[in-house]
């Protein structure tokens, strides 16, 4: 393991770089999906417009299609020769001294070069007069104004938002190429764990970390398989690893057993199966004992067992990893935001802190992040009540109330 500081702890930024580098070399399969089902997927290739939008000159308003020269000066009566509605264009052409009743979205007939707004028109007995002088192009949406056939409308590696899906459909794509969703297997470990709702001993812990990690992975676009709870035995862990490999998983996330204690068996069991560990200690709080490596075709992410540590590490490392495995061009982007502290904070040590915090606005509209005093990594209730994490760099000096800070929304 390289890149660690004098304490043997790897900086957060270096850990993320190494995780994303592993994702970069990971095979990424491409599949075609209906555009209506592509929400949240990542484009695997540039998308070229198969048609122009609009395909012809169309009216931006309800009114009258005419030649702009016939409105200078205003008041000249023009003969109404027909109507153009969306889906029902006028079949003829507009000559000088003529006009066609037209509606929003309808094709502007040949010969016409402007649309007179109906509120500025006086129509009577088969004629219409303009109250104003129009310039050519008034209220006309030119063909190809939005995009033209043959143009690249969406670039590869973009995540598909509702707006981008609408654009893909408008470009006349019924199916689009996207990267396959990564398959994520999640394994909770520990003799103390019990399933939610089960009758348990006083010292038991309900295994709910997997629920949260699964929700985060699905939100990041992954397919998820919960492998349940593995006991602190080699046989139990090996059985779970067998299931992950047989699925096959792209990523195996283990929760707990990531440290170096007597009962922390995840690393030695994985190593015995041929796993190569890249790093296992991060200069951060909470979440120092984070494992990352590879077992054959599977990427291994070993999260700490403490609830908040697991969730913070998943937010910082697992979600960008899953984005990168889908070819997301923004997988490594800094998504932090500026804010101001709602309370004073002491100086920090060598580990980067991620303090749970609530968000409010002050009288000036500034975003205020207020961390509660108790930041113990076992306090899931504090995490659930937080809206963001205040990022405190290593060796940050004391900070007073109102000081600028950087946050990561949860």
What's the pTM? 0.87
Does the pLDDT at position 178 exceed 70?
A: yes
Q: Are 380 and 207 a contacting pair, CB within 8 Å?
A: no
At 154 the three-state DSSP class reads: strand
* Both structure tokens of 393: 């760099």
Does the pLDDT at position 342 exceed 90?
A: yes
Distance CA 59, CA 88 (A): 13
Radius of gyration of the chain (CA): 31
% of the chain residues with pLDDT over 70: 97
E runs forming strands in 239-375: 251-255, 276-279, 284-285, 291-295, 298-303, 337-341, 352-361, 367-370
Write out the H or E segment, with its range, that includes residue 179.
strand 175-179
Mean pLDDT of all residues in 201-217: 90
Express each pLDDT in 131-152 by its tens digit. 999 999 999 999 999 999 999 9
Q: Nearest to residue 78, comparing CAs of 104, 112, 107, 105?
A: 112
**Which pLDDT score is estimated for 4?**
56
**Which pLDDT score is estimated for 259?**
60
Cis ω before 286 (30° cut-off from 0):
yes
**Which pLDDT score is estimated for 206?**
85
Q: How do beta strands 352-361 and 284-285 pair?
A: parallel
**Which pLDDT score is estimated for 92?**
95
Q: What are phi and psi of 210, to 5 degrees?
A: -60, -35
Does the pLDDT at position 261 exceed 70?
A: no
Q: Nearest to residue 288, comparing CAs of 271, 268, 308?
A: 308
Question: Across the chain, what does the average pLDDT equal?
Answer: 94
Cα-Cα-Cα-Cα dihedral of 208, 209, 211, 215, to 10°?
Answer: 150
Mean pLDDT lowest among 107-111, 195-199, 245-249: 195-199
**Which pLDDT score is estimated for 263?**
60
H-only helix segments in 36-173: 162-170
% of the chain residues with pLDDT over 90: 85
Mean pLDDT of all residues in 172-200: 93
**Which pLDDT score is estimated for 7?**
61
Q: What are the structural domain ranges in the chain?
A: 12-29+180-325, 31-53+146-179, 58-141, 337-409
* Both structure tokens of 284: 């951060």
**Which pLDDT score is estimated for 207?**
87
Cα-Cα-Cα-Cα dihedral of 306, 312, 317, 318, to 10°?
Answer: 70
Does the pLDDT at position 1 exceed 50?
A: no
Q: Give the rounded distance of the alpha carbon of 305 from its chain centre.
A: 27
Say how many residues make up the chain. 410
Cis ω before 54 (30° cut-off from 0):
yes
Just give the CATH number of 31-53+146-179: 3.90.105.10
DSSP letter for 211, please: H
Name residue, tokens 């990041």: 220
Q: So what's the architecture of 58-141 in CATH?
A: Beta Complex (2.170)
Express each pLDDT in 86-100 by its tens digit. 999 999 999 999 999
Distance CA 168, CA 306 (A): 43
- The separation between the first and the last C-alpha atoms of the chain, rounded to the nearest angstrom, is 30
Q: What are phi and psi of 103, to 5 degrees?
A: -125, 160
Mean pLDDT of all residues in 170-191: 97
Mean pLDDT of all residues in 314-333: 96
Topology, domain 337-409: Beta-clip (2.40.340)
Mean pLDDT of all residues in 323-330: 96
Q: What are phi and psi of 146, to 5 degrees?
A: -80, -55
Does the pLDDT at position 2 exceed 50?
A: no
**Which pLDDT score is estimated for 179?**
97
Distance CA 131, CA 121 (A): 6
* Both structure tokens of 268: 């030695």
Mean pLDDT of all residues in 240-252: 97
pLDDT band at 260 (very low <50, low <70, confident <90, very high): low
3-state percent helix, strand, coil for the chain, nearest multiple of 5: 20, 30, 45
More confident residue, 363 or 7: 363
**Which pLDDT score is estimated for 67?**
98
- Could you tell me which CATH class the domain 12-29+180-325 is placed in? alpha beta
Name residue, tokens 């200069």: 283
Q: Give the rounded distance of the alpha carbon of 136 from its chain centre.
A: 43
Distance CA 405, CA 410 (A): 16
E runs forming strands in 94-139: 98-102, 114-117, 121-124, 127-130
Mean pLDDT of all residues in 328-344: 95
Express each pLDDT in 369-387 by its tens digit. 999 999 998 899 999 999 9
Mean pLDDT of all residues in 184-188: 97
Mean pLDDT lowest among 110-114, 175-179, 203-207, 372-376: 203-207
Residues 6+ apart with CB under 8 A from 32: 175, 176, 177, 178
């Amino acid at each position: 393991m390289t890149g660690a500081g004098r304490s043997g702890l790897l900086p957060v930024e270096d850990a993320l770089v190494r995780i994303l580098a592993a994702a970069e070399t990971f095979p990424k399969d491409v599949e075609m999906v209906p555009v209506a089902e592509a929400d949240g997927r990542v484009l695997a290739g540039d998308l070229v417009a198969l048609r122009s939008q609009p395909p012809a000159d169309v009216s931006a308003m309800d009114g009258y299609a005419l030649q702009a020269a016939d409105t200078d000066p205003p008041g000249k009566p023009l003969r109404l020769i027909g109507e153009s509605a969306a889906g029902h264009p006028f079949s003829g052409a507009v000559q000088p001294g003529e006009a066609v009743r037209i509606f929003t979205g309808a094709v502007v007939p040949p010969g016409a070069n402007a649309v007179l707004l109906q509120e500025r028109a006086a129509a009577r007995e088969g004629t219409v007069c303009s109250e104003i002088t129009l310039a050519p192009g008034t209220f006309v949406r030119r063909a190809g104004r939005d995009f033209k056939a043959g143009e690249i409308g969406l670039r590869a590696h973009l995540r598909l938002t509702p707006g981008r899906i609408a654009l893909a459909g408008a470009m006349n794509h019924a199916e689009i190429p996207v990267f396959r969703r990564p398959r994520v297997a999640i394994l909770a470990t520990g003799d103390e764990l019990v399933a939610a709702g089960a009758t348990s001993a006083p010292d038991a812990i309900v295994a709910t970390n997997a629920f949260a990690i699964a929700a985060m992975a699905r939100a990041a676009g992954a397919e998820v398989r919960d492998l349940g709870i593995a006991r602190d035995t080699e046989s139990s862990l090996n059985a779970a690893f067998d299931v992950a490999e047989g699925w096959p998983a792209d990523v195996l996330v283990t929760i707990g057993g990531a440290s170096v204690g007597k009962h922390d068996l995840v690393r030695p069991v994985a190593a015995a199966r041929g796993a190569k560990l890249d790093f296992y200690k991060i200069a951060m709080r909470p979440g120092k004992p984070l494992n990352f490596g590879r077992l054959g075709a599977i990427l291994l992410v070993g999260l700490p067992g403490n609830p908040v540590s697991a969730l913070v590490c998943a937010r910082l490392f697992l979600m960008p990893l899953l984005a990168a495995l889908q070819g997301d061009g923004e997988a490594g982007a800094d998504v932090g935001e500026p804010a101001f502290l709602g309370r004073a904070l002491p100086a920090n040590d060598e580990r980067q802190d991620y303090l749970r915090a609530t968000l409010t606005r002050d009288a000036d509209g500034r975003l205020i992040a207020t961390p509660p005093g108790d930041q113990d990594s076992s306090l899931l209730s504090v995490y659930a009540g937080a809206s963001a994490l205040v990022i405190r760099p290593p060796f940050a000096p004391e900070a007073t109330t109102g000081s600028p800070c950087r946050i990561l929304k949860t």
